[in-house]
Every structure is written in C-alpha cells, then in structure tokens.
Structure 1
Amino acid sequence: CFFHYGQCIWRHIQENGLSTKYDDDDNFRLNVRKLLSLPFVPASEVIETFELIADEFDDEADTLVEYYEKTWIGEKKKQGAGRKKPKFNNELWHVYERVINDLPRSNNSVINANKSRKNHRK
C-alpha cells in the first residue's frame, strides 16, 4: 500500500546515510518528494516521469535512484528494450486509478471490513 511504499523509501534513505542530506539539502528533499508522488502519476507516464526525476538527483543519491529503479519500476534490461520486473509489482503501490475512481489508497478498508465481520459473528 502507499503507506508502506513511503516507509520503504524512507528506510532506504536512512540505511544509506542520506538522512542528513534530506534534512539539509532542499533540492534532494524535493526530489525525494517527487519520487514519493510517482504513485499518483498515470501508469503510462511513471517510467518517463521517474527518468526526469532521476536526472535531477546528484551523484550522492545514486544508491537511492538505483534502489528505486530495481524495487519499484524495474531496471533497464542490458540487452534489448524494456525493463526487468521490479521487486514490487506496480499494482501494489500505484494509486492513480484508485484516486481517480475514489477508492481507498491502502488496504486498511479491507482490514477493517474483515475485523468488522469477525466481530459481527461473535
């Protein structure tokens, strides 16, 4: 879900020593926020938008850009066109269609519905 998507990116920033850069570098912070907004971009535009954002990061952020690419959109294939499968399929984190259709952005509503049914059965 979208919440865990943001948590994964923030955890990667912390684990790779980029927290101070996030706090001190306005441009880096803005670009991270742009990455966090990709789930709200139409699916057909995610890769192109990612590439535009990736170009705005400096070399210090290469680990973040590489992580994002491998984990969320799939890295470019070395031979041929296209991309490898990402670690997480975009249906798990991409919420554009859900927002357009006024559906929940997370699975919390499903969890709550299950809890409600279990409590109702008692």
Structure 2
Amino acid sequence: FSFQARLVGCNFHWKQAVFRRVQAVGLTAAYTTDDATRTLLQKVMALPFLPLNEVVPAFQLLRQQSSTPPLDEVNVHTDITCRITIYAYIFQLFAYVETTWINGRTWPVGAWNVYGRSIRTNNCAEGYNHRLTVRAGGKSMGPYQLAALLFREAQLVDMTVRLVNRHLITRRQRQMTRTLQARVFRAWECHRTGDMTTPELLSVCARTYGQAP
C-alpha cells in the first residue's frame, strides 16, 4: 500500500493557543475594551487564512504597525501609561507567535495554514472518534476487540465513498457555519482575482472568525 498523508493542524485549536497566550501576557482586558488592540490581535489570529506565501510578510507588517505606541491618538478609555504597557504585552505576544509558529520547527507555517480549505478543524476526526466510542459501548477495549471493530469500519469505506460521490450523503453543517464558509470563500476568490488586497483579506477573515471578546 502507498499512503500519502499530510499532517495539518486544527485552526480552532491554533486560535485557542494564540488566545491563551493573549491572556497569559496580560492582554485580556485590552482585548475586551480596546477596539484597536482587539482588531490587531484578531488579525494575528486570522493569519492562517492567508495564502501560504503571504503569511510571513503579513505578520511582519502587523508587527511593524504595532511597534510604536500612537501617543498622539490615545484612546479615551486608556491613558498613555496604560497604552505603553499594552504595547509591551503586544510585543511579548508577537515574540511568541514568531518563535513558536513562524520560525518554529515543530509546526511550520504550512502545517497551520488553512487557505482554500473547507475543512479547517479536527471536528470530523473527533466526531468519528466519538462514534467509535459509542459503538464500543463507551468502555475500554482490548486490542482484539478494537481490531474487530476497526475491521467492521473498514468494510464500510467503499460504500461510503460511493454514496459521497453520488451525493447521497453529505456533511452536516449549521446555517451559521455555511454563512461564514461562504463569506470567507468569496473573500478568497476576490483576493485571487485581484479585487481584494492581502490586508483587506486579512481584515475580512479577522472579522469573520475573530475570537469574541
């Protein structure tokens, strides 16, 4: 047998990892109350939606935009000292993203990039695992029982493929999921045809899939 598989990350868990670091460095309050900070960080968390070759340049641009506190444009709810503190925390966050996700060897950019992909999370895999658990009676199984269960599952593969090809079974999606999916695919198409710039694409994806405050 010849298997061709590519290890990819789950976008949901990637975003959660970045947001946990947002919380860890002390940006929770700023993310909740400061629009500029939230917009910037949502764009960071939307980087996986860009074409692979544009992720790093977009990250560098975001870091440049965040490198100098705009002291002449202080938010009415944030004094100058607090703003400088926020930017110090943002610096820590960008350092984490660069070290772990941009230059990291464990998860290179290609592993967490989801550009053009309709399936961007591991929900399907988790759902399949849950189904096996239910069929196993919700209890631990020995290797022989597990082998028998997997053998029965393998016998269904050919039939499942035929049914999918004939559109007799489809993936279930909620209306909200379909709406968001259509929005991001329209943005990808506009970017591909040159009707939308990379910063504009990043903004659309950040608004569509940004972490709620």
CA distance in 2, matches of 1:114, 1:24: 39
Which residue of structure 2 lines up, in the alignment, with residue 4 of structure 1?
13
Task: From the two aligned structures, give the one with the greater helix fraction.
Answer: 1
TM-score by length of 1: 0.76
CA distance in 1, matches of 2:106, 2:30: 26
CA distance in 1, matches of 2:96, 2:106: 10
Equivalent pairs counted in the alignment come to 108
Give the structure with higher Rg (CA): 2
CA distance in 1, matches of 2:37, 2:21: 14
Which residue of structure 1 lines up, in the alignment, with residue 107 of structure 2?
88
CA distance in 2, matches of 1:107, 1:37: 17
- Work out which of the residue numbers 122, 127, 146 in structure 2 matches 1:107: 122
Whichever residue aligns with residue 17 of structure 2, its letter is: C
Q: Contact 2:52 / 2:110 at 8 angstroms: preserved in 1?
A: no
Cα distance, 1:117 vs structure 2: 5.2
Cα distance, 1:114 vs structure 2: 4.1
Secondary structure of the 1:97 match is coil
CA distance in 2, matches of 1:91, 1:45: 11
Aligned-residue CA RMSD in angstroms?
2.2
- Structure 1 segments unaligned to the other structure (5+ residues): 75-84
Deviations 1:40-98 (A, max 9, x none): 00001000011111112244211011011111111xxxxxxxxxx44422344211131
Which residue of structure 2 lines up, in the alignment, with residue 67 of structure 1?
96
Which residue of structure 2 lines up, in the alignment, with residue 16 of structure 1?
25
CA distance in 1, matches of 2:108, 2:116: 15
Over the matched positions of the two proteins, sequence identity in percent amounts to 32
Whichever residue aligns with residue 11 of structure 1, its letter is: R
CA distance in 2, matches of 1:90, 1:57: 21
CA distance in 2, matches of 1:34, 1:69: 14
Say whether 1:97 aligns with 2:116.
Answer: yes
CA distance in 2, matches of 1:113, 1:67: 33
- Structure 2 segments unaligned to the other structure (5+ residues): 1-9, 68-86, 137-148, 153-213
CA distance in 2, matches of 1:70, 1:115: 34
- Work out which of the residue numbers 44, 57, 81 in structure 2 matches 1:48: 57
Deviations 1:87-118 (A, max 9, x none): 422344211131xxx3x111221232344456
Which residue of structure 1 lines up, in the alignment, with residue 36 of structure 2?
27
